[in-house]
Structure 1
Amino acid sequence: MDILTSPYGALFLLSAIGIALGKIKFRNISLDTSAIFFVALFFGHLGVNIPIIIQQIGLIFFMYSIGIQAGPGFFESFKRGGVHLIYLALILGISGSIITIILAKIFNIDMLMAVGLFSGSLTSASSLAVTIENTHSALPSVGFGIAFPFGVIGVVLITRLSPQLFKIKIPIEEEKHIAEIRSVYPNLINKNFVAENPEIIGKTIAEIKLRQLTNTNISRIYQQNISFIPNAQTVIQKGDILRACGTKEDLFKLCSFIGSETHIQIPVNRKYIVRQFLVTNNKVINKSLGQLALLQMFNATVTTIRRSGIDIIPNANSRLRFGDKITIALPEENLVNVSELIGNNRKKLDEIDFFPIITGILIGVLISLIKIKLPFGITFTLGLTGGVLISGLLLSRIGKTGKIIWNVSGGSNQFMRKLGLIFFLSGVGTQAGSQIINVVKANGISLFVIGIAITVIPMFITLILGRYFFKLNFLTLLGALTGSMTSTPALSAIEPLTKTNAPQIAYATVYPFALIIIIILSQIIILF
């Protein structure tokens, strides 16, 4: 066919076929964009070649998007709450790399082939990208193609079957998880109180320091037949009905501080509304909620921040990032002012600003040129992929420099990542396709067995240590396991098992760190 003799025609033909095949689901499992790699293997076997510059440009965009996505979560994952989960990611990655090296030595497998098996077994296209850029060899792609299918399917099967294998009762784990959450974040309730204490009458909320002394929050006041949201300057009058939110113990303290509890209900002001806003105004990006003073200026309270598909409970130190979706409770008359302050511009969110992207990549290229001299005359460089990845990680953490916003909205980053992945997988797939048949003939079934072992053994090591040594809740453990394997399909497979969000929280904590550690370990394997 003439189209196969045209590299660019072949590129878009195999990409179209791969995308179509990737949409096919079997029991809610699909290959998604990765299907392009297997179509490219077939085209490569037919003698199709994709220009190397296409592969390299795809690699650059893919790795930069990984850095931008993982940056904030990567640095946050080092906080105290996620340490045990990070240990699991290290255990899985290190055990997988050790098994890879041992089996490669036993079966006399080329280490470049072995690192491809490692990347495919752990479903890490990013580690494959770094390996290819550093080695300029097609063997890692061949190994990746052999191990990847079971890497996708195996992690889904193990995570779904592990509760039965470990004799876990999910409802009990759910109860334990809820109890753990409540021990850290006690259940909050609302009660109404009558202002009776002479010590507080005629004073402002700021003066009596209710929040500092009782750890409660006054959400509404009924004063002179009017219901409203108080601010720091609201003066408390005798007989006011105050609606307070806090734990049972804290509200008991508040009762002795304000006055007796009442069952009189405060009428709901119909002008009080709850709306969601998109953060698109450059002036508020990287600012904390405390700095914005929404409560003082607009009687507005931020209840949740949704970032990269994850809901975050905000506090005064929470900083806004471009593309955040925040839920705010506020008086209706302040809706326009708050909307203008936050931005709430869907068009701006959907637009891709290429200047910070191209500039960030350029910084990554400059980082890749830095040569670090090591002992014994060895010179070390991060390489193109390492430089671009480091640039993305650091810039996404910084968020904003002057008027330049380094963060990319979720939709734009997904577009950049998928486009880069399409070009990259098309190139490496056709390269590997030209050799895969000969490699399989030479090594037989051993490569497939090694790939399965690299997937299965580390997962069971992680499950056993996580359950019996770290004593983690099994729902949290499953989320950490799927995050350590960087497997979103596996996370989707375990979501129906529980009504809690324990797996999703653990996945989000571990995923950015696992993404980086697998890349590092893949480069260490080559040294053997």
Structure 2
Amino acid sequence: MDWIIKTLQNTPELAIFLTLALGFAVGKVKIKGFSLGSVTGVLLMGVLIGQLGITISPTVKSTFFLIFLFAVGYSVGPQFIHSLKKEGLPQIGFAVIICLCCLVVAWICALVAGFDLGNTAGLLAGANTISAVIGVATDTINQLSISTEQKTSIINQIPVAYAVTYIFGTAGTAWFLASVGPKLLGKDFDKKVREYEQSLGGDIGDNDASMEDAYDGTTFRVIEASSDHFNQPRTAQEVETLLVNRGWPVYIERIRPLNGEIIQEPTAETVINKGDRLVLNGPIDTLIADENAIGKEVADVELLDFKAEAIRVIVTNKDITSITLKSLKTYKERHGVIIRKIYRGKADIPKLNNVKLQRGDVVEIEGRKADVDRFAKYLGYPERPTNITDLLYVGLGIFLGGIIGSLTIRTGNIPLSLSASGGVLIMGIIFGWARSLRPTFGAVPEPAIWLMNNLGLNIFIAVVGINAGPDFITGLKAAGVSLFVAGIFVSIVPMFIGLMLGRFVFKFNPAITLGACAGARTTTAALGAIQDGINSKVPALSYTTTYAIGNTLLIIWGVVIVLLMS
């Protein structure tokens, strides 16, 4: 054991990876459905390993923190910039107010409880589950004109307050929005949500008006044209129109005439006779739901011998933002292609008739390769699977952001600066937005984004925990209970204010209000709980815009809270 301890002290980089491994293991442990999560797990394991007297250079945590912040900005950039359009202004205003409430409530609680600067920054970070505040606040504290010993003492208090308040910040907020929120938004909550879904072309009662809400994928099936509908010859267009009128976006891909060769690419005018076999493209439940419409499924392996493709496409065509999904399904460019999912930032938005795409959305489509290529070209840029990250783009973005953020204007003893971390976040937003407009450069694959986010943040948190370890227990004993109580207020009060603002001031639909509250607080766990609780994906429509604004402002509050408290 002594040898292991000395080895960790002499090679502290090994302590970081041990902390990561143990932290992720602890973070996955669930007790009655609740888990600490990787960040809190890593922090606690870092504090435990930090008791061994291990010192790690602050350059390590700063480097990985900048990587994390660039990834955050890059991810939310398209939604942040595109939300600035006129139709997104109410949600932007809502998110700004909620973020200000998060800051002000934390500040007031700190003043009432008599917390020092470090505990206040940790309270803001943990109660609002925005881990990046730890790094931004640390950078700002290091610029203050105080002694090194004071800086170290203050900075070591941040993870203490964060750890105490984070658990309720995550679980408490999700519970409050999912369970209490609907009750605070009126007795007719369910009715208003369903009416809003109907206005978007959703499923109401027995009238299935939804676009593709049940699509988790597509399938190709061979159906024999044996129903009475084919007692007289029909064109391919007539058959597809029949299916569309039933609410089924199903396409005819190939035809084997009763007596003839396979028609590889039928046109709208191709004639279909009774007994012909058709390859239909669509979800399996709709293809075989009513055999009287077309006919019965048959086995024909040769007819199904063709290539299909499923890819993701970044929407860059600005003309498409004025088109509803209902209208899009009749466009010739769309023919033969199924829209499986639509991603807007971190949210999977509902595929309802009157929903419109935005530039920067990622659309997952599937169909025959020729059809997919045509529709992908119309939508924007096909995101072909790749494992190559444009490190030139990433490195330049972090460098420029750090340089700009390091510019400082001093007012007396107080530095006014975004700090390097704030500058990198802003530059990440700009670079992410630029990538959504011109996807031919600056590629950072989704797995790379995940790694930059998780590895960057958790290595930063690991170093914070290890360095703060010796002072952690003392700080916890001194302010643990008062921090936990303050954390409840900081977590819940802004959400209560948000529910009231959404209902009485902005007059959002209740589902939109819940999604906007979750987004402004950047709590993905709450979004999932809300959607499960009300059985609707509508909250995702407001989550994306408010998440982009909230994720940016709450991180910047790490600078502001230091200035307020100093």
Q: Per the shorter chain, which TM-score range?
A: 0.7 to 0.9
Cα-to-partner distance string for 1:430-470 (whole Å, 9 max, x where unaligned) = 23322222223444632332222212222222223333443
Q: CA RMSD in A?
A: 4.1
1:62 aligns with 2:68: yes
In 1, the alpha carbon distance for the partners of 2:114 and 2:20 equals 35
Aligned to 2:310: 277
Indicate which of 116, 130, 144 corresponds to 2:162: 144
Aligned to 1:13: 18
In 1, the alpha carbon distance for the partners of 2:524 and 2:510 equals 18
Checking the alignment, whether the CA contact within 8 Å between 2:422 and 2:556 is kept in structure 1 is no
Q: Shift of the alpha carbon at 1:420?
A: 0.4
Aligned to 2:399: 362
Checking the alignment, whether the CA contact within 8 Å between 2:309 and 2:372 is kept in structure 1 is no
**Stretch deviating more after TM superposition (469-478 or 105-114):** 469-478
Aligned to 1:176: 192
Checking the alignment, whether the CA contact within 8 Å between 2:22 and 2:42 is kept in structure 1 is yes
In 1, the alpha carbon distance for the partners of 2:376 and 2:82 equals 30
In 2, the alpha carbon distance for the partners of 1:164 and 1:47 equals 49
The TM-score, its normalising length taken from structure 2, stands at: 0.69
In 1, the alpha carbon distance for the partners of 2:460 and 2:493 equals 29
Q: Shift of the alpha carbon at 1:325?
A: 4.0
Checking the alignment, whether the CA contact within 8 Å between 1:278 and 1:346 is kept in structure 2 is yes
Residue correspondences, number: 460
Checking the alignment, whether the CA contact within 8 Å between 2:117 and 2:562 is kept in structure 1 is yes
Aligned to 1:129: 135
Checking the alignment, whether the CA contact within 8 Å between 2:522 and 2:551 is kept in structure 1 is yes
SS of equivalent residue, structure 1 residue 114? helix
In 2, the alpha carbon distance for the partners of 1:499 and 1:483 equals 18
Aligned to 1:39: 45
**Stretch deviating more after TM superposition (439-448 or 423-432):** 439-448
1:491 aligns with 2:527: yes
Checking the alignment, whether the CA contact within 8 Å between 1:286 and 1:399 is kept in structure 2 is no
Indicate which of 318, 323, 326 corresponds to 2:364: 326
Question: What amino acid maps onto 1:33 in structure 2?
Answer: S
Q: Shift of the alpha carbon at 1:56?
A: 1.3
Q: Is the alpha carbon distance of 1:379 and 1:343 closer, same or farther for their aligned partners in structure 2, counting shifts above 3 Å?
A: closer
SS of equivalent residue, structure 2 residue 310? strand
Aligned to 2:34: 29
Checking the alignment, whether the CA contact within 8 Å between 1:396 and 1:407 is kept in structure 2 is no
Give runs of aligned pairs for residues 467-506 of structure 1, distance below 5 A: 467-506=503-542
Checking the alignment, whether the CA contact within 8 Å between 2:499 and 2:517 is kept in structure 1 is yes
Give runs of aligned pairs for residues 371-520 of structure 1, distance below 5 A: 371=407, 380-399=416-435, 405-443=441-479, 445-520=481-556
SS of equivalent residue, structure 1 residue 452? helix
Q: Shift of the alpha carbon at 1:319?
A: 7.1
Q: Is the alpha carbon distance of 1:269 and 1:296 closer, same or farther for their aligned partners in structure 2, counting shifts above 3 Å?
A: farther
Q: Shift of the alpha carbon at 1:527?
A: 1.8
Cα-to-partner distance string for 1:175-224 (whole Å, 9 max, x where unaligned) = 3223224335588999xxxxxxxxxxxxxxxxxxxxxxxxxxxxxxx9x9
Q: Shift of the alpha carbon at 1:421?
A: 1.2
Q: Is the alpha carbon distance of 1:368 and 1:26 closer, same or farther for their aligned partners in structure 2, counting shifts above 3 Å?
A: same
Q: Shift of the alpha carbon at 1:151?
A: 1.3
In 1, the alpha carbon distance for the partners of 2:114 and 2:69 equals 31
Cα-to-partner distance string for 1:306-365 (whole Å, 9 max, x where unaligned) = 22452476999957759x343256xx58348549968877642x4434332223223323
Indicate which of 96, 103, 106 corresponds to 1:90: 96
Aligned to 2:179: 161
Q: Shift of the alpha carbon at 1:141?
A: 2.7
Q: Is the alpha carbon distance of 1:411 and 1:41 closer, same or farther for their aligned partners in structure 2, counting shifts above 3 Å?
A: same
Checking the alignment, whether the CA contact within 8 Å between 2:311 and 2:382 is kept in structure 1 is yes
In 1, the alpha carbon distance for the partners of 2:439 and 2:337 equals 27
SS of equivalent residue, structure 1 residue 408? coil
Checking the alignment, whether the CA contact within 8 Å between 2:202 and 2:208 is kept in structure 1 is no
In 2, the alpha carbon distance for the partners of 1:186 and 1:8 equals 53
Q: Is the alpha carbon distance of 1:167 and 1:96 closer, same or farther for their aligned partners in structure 2, counting shifts above 3 Å?
A: closer
Q: Is the alpha carbon distance of 1:45 and 1:93 closer, same or farther for their aligned partners in structure 2, counting shifts above 3 Å?
A: farther
In 2, the alpha carbon distance for the partners of 1:287 and 1:167 equals 37
Q: Is the alpha carbon distance of 1:449 and 1:470 closer, same or farther for their aligned partners in structure 2, counting shifts above 3 Å?
A: same
In 1, the alpha carbon distance for the partners of 2:83 and 2:186 equals 27
Checking the alignment, whether the CA contact within 8 Å between 2:160 and 2:476 is kept in structure 1 is no
Checking the alignment, whether the CA contact within 8 Å between 1:7 and 1:51 is kept in structure 2 is no
Q: Is the alpha carbon distance of 1:162 and 1:407 closer, same or farther for their aligned partners in structure 2, counting shifts above 3 Å?
A: farther
1:521 aligns with 2:557: yes
In 1, the alpha carbon distance for the partners of 2:356 and 2:179 equals 41
Q: Structure 1 stretches of 5 or more lacking a match?
A: 191-221, 231-239, 249-264
Q: Is the alpha carbon distance of 1:176 and 1:47 closer, same or farther for their aligned partners in structure 2, counting shifts above 3 Å?
A: same
Aligned to 1:103: 109
SS of equivalent residue, structure 2 residue 342? strand
Aligned to 1:253: none
Question: What amino acid maps onto 2:16 in structure 1?
Answer: L
Give the fraction of aligned pairs with identical amino acids, expressed as a percent. Answer: 24
Q: Structure 2 stretches of 5 or more lacking a match?
A: 143-154, 210-229, 248-271, 283-307, 322-327
Q: Shift of the alpha carbon at 1:147?
A: 1.8
In 1, the alpha carbon distance for the partners of 2:52 and 2:23 equals 16
In 2, the alpha carbon distance for the partners of 1:338 and 1:244 equals 22
Checking the alignment, whether the CA contact within 8 Å between 1:40 and 1:429 is kept in structure 2 is yes
SS of equivalent residue, structure 1 residue 515? helix
Checking the alignment, whether the CA contact within 8 Å between 1:271 and 1:333 is kept in structure 2 is no
Aligned to 1:78: 84
Checking the alignment, whether the CA contact within 8 Å between 1:289 and 1:317 is kept in structure 2 is no
**Stretch deviating more after TM superposition (294-303 or 440-449):** 294-303
Checking the alignment, whether the CA contact within 8 Å between 2:55 and 2:466 is kept in structure 1 is yes
Q: Shift of the alpha carbon at 1:392?
A: 1.0
Q: Shift of the alpha carbon at 1:241?
A: 10
In 2, the alpha carbon distance for the partners of 1:159 and 1:266 equals 56
In 1, the alpha carbon distance for the partners of 2:468 and 2:34 equals 25
Q: Is the alpha carbon distance of 1:475 and 1:295 closer, same or farther for their aligned partners in structure 2, counting shifts above 3 Å?
A: closer
Q: Shift of the alpha carbon at 1:266?
A: 10
Q: Shift of the alpha carbon at 1:125?
A: 0.8
